[in-house]
Amino acid sequence: MDLSFGFFFASFLYLFQCFPVFYLPAIRWTDLTILLQSSLYFSYSLLAMPPHLFTIYTRYDDTTGWTAHALTE
């Protein structure tokens, strides 16, 4: 449950960036509903994927610094 809520919250914040700050007072319920549905679909589609497709770990290298790598089989 915590993992699915984390994906939902992260995708909600990511999709919420498409709304400018000055548009926030004029946001309609339909926009918010579409945003919530998109977040749910995006988060649960990530959870339905095999784990090696979205598992990301960070590694420190002396030349490049911290980099993110996808964990593949």
CA distance 11 to 43: 6
Mean pLDDT of 23-29: 57
CA-nearest of 46, 43, 71 to 57 is: 71
Range list of β-strands (E), the chain = 56-61, 65-70
Per residue in 7-21, pLDDT (tens digit) is: 666 666 666 665 555
Residue 29 Cα distances to 7, 34, 59, 61, 71, angstroms: 22, 9, 42, 47, 39
Q: Is the pLDDT of residue 67 over 60?
A: yes
Number of domains in the chain: 1
Domain range for 29 is: 2-70
Instruction: Take residue 35 and report the two structure tokens written for it.
Output: 């945003």
